Copies of this chain bind each other. A is one copy, B any other.
Amino acid sequence: MIIIMKPGVDRSTIDPVVQRVEQLGLNAHLIDGEERTIIGVVGLPLPPTLEEQFETLPGVENVVRITKKFKLAGWDFHPTKTVIDLGDGVTIGGPELSIIAGPCSVESEQQTLDTARAVAAAGATILRGGAYKPRTSPYEFRGLGEQGLQILAQAREETGLKIITEVMTPSDVETVDRYTDIFQIGARNCQNYLLLEEVGKARKPVMLKRGLSMLLEEWLLAAEYVMAQGNPDVMLCERGIRTFETMTRNTMDVSAVPVVQSLSHLPVIVDPSHAAGKRPFIAALAKAGIAAGADGLMIEAHPSPDHAMSDGAQSLNLDEFAALMPQLARVAQAVDRSFTIAGVEAG
């Protein structure tokens, strides 16, 4: 940590700052510049709120933290990339690109099974489907609850797809755990820390969607909450951030893919459906995500999007999904990623 003093302050102001550093068991190194003094603070571990304690001391202009706040999610203590093994040869984070597909909401057995069969045939390995739905308005459809989970489990049994579904509150973790293969934490719950800890204890893989205005560092700290409970299997999902532009539902921050990969060993998934919010742009964003190096995609697909109970406008129909997959395989191949479609290795 570096403490930058205001220009022109003298020893009588600097000394108390140095003493405060030393009281905390840390060492202070002074650099006297021509305009001002800066104090390098050395010693480990730095308390996480250390900056705040110094920012308000007299004469201090600014405090710059150097060490990152996340540990488990970073490369320093985990120099190999995390590959999450879902069993039956399905992994996330390895050379194979993972395709997660399915409806926004589980609406019925038939809708879910039709979708599951179609996306499995087209090359997806994981089925998404919401049983508990966070909705902006209290008057909207909120999912089938445990019945939805049962339908997902039935789809898994029939198709062999792995399952991912959202859990919205700590008290539902146990129920969802009985059915799902991956816990999804939605963008609105990305800093619901007690929920993060609860799925951290559950020891099943967790996908953390990025919040609408979440800094990349905050995202990795959210992962840290899960990991600090002993659960190493976290993947991150970029699904668009909120900006001033209104022609897309969100703005897909495609640079999040390489930047997070430079900071963390965790797999990164891209969700072009929520990013675009509009069907015609999903294909382009899906390809961009793969080209940027994403470890997988999550795409909404529905047998009849214009009758969907949620997010129809951003869902592909099953034919569109099937037609998109070979295109995605070509891009995956172009960035040295393998991709299996219907038993045929494309990459």
Contacts and interface: CB of A to CB of B under 8 A. Distances in A.
Contacts of A43: 33-34
A191 B134 contact: yes
Contacts of A66: 4, 33, 36, 38, 62
B276 A255 contact: yes
Contacts of A291: 284, 287-288, 290-292, 331
Q: Considering residues A168, A251, A293, A309, which has the most beta carbons from chain B within 10 angstroms of its beta carbon?
A: A251
A95 interface: no
A123 B207 CA distance: 40
Contact of A335 (B32, B188, B241, B287): B287
Interface in A59-100: 62, 64, 66-67, 69-70, 76
Interface string A322-334: 0000010011011
A110 interface: no
Interface in A34-70: 34-36, 38, 40, 42-44, 48-49, 51-57, 62, 64, 66-67, 69-70
A194 interface: yes
A21 to B, nearest CB: 13
Contacts of A280: 258, 262
Contacts of A57: 306
Nearest to A188: B191
Contacts of A224: 137-138
Interface residues of A, number: 111
A213 B211 CA distance: 9
A69 to B, nearest CB: 5
B2 A64 contact: yes
A135 to B, nearest CB: 7
A247 B255 CA distance: 9
A178 interface: no
Nearest to A172: B194
A311 B4 CA distance: 19
Interface stretch (A111-119, A152-160, A214-222): A214-222
A307 B280 CA distance: 40
Q: How many copies does the complex hold?
A: 4
A243 B211 CA distance: 14
Contacts of A313: 51-52, 55-56
Given A138-B221, A171-B171, A335-B287, A52 B312 contact: yes
Main secondary structure of the interface of A (DSSP, over half): mixed
B141 A49 contact: yes
B194 A136 contact: no
Interface string A228-266: 100000000000011111111001111111110010000
B245 A246 contact: no
Interface of A: 2, 4, 7, 29, 31-36, 38, 40, 42-44, 48-49, 51-57, 62, 64, 66-67, 69-70, 76, 134-141, 168-171, 188-189, 191-195, 197, 211-213, 215-218, 221, 224-225, 228, 241-248, 251-259, 262, 275-276, 278-281, 283-285, 287-293, 305-313, 327, 330-331, 333-335
18 contacts: A31-B31, A34-B44, A35-B44, A48-B137, A55-B278, A56-B306, A136-B221, A137-B221, A138-B197, A169-B194, A211-B212, A242-B244, A244-B244, A248-B255, A252-B253, A254-B288, A288-B292, A334-B334
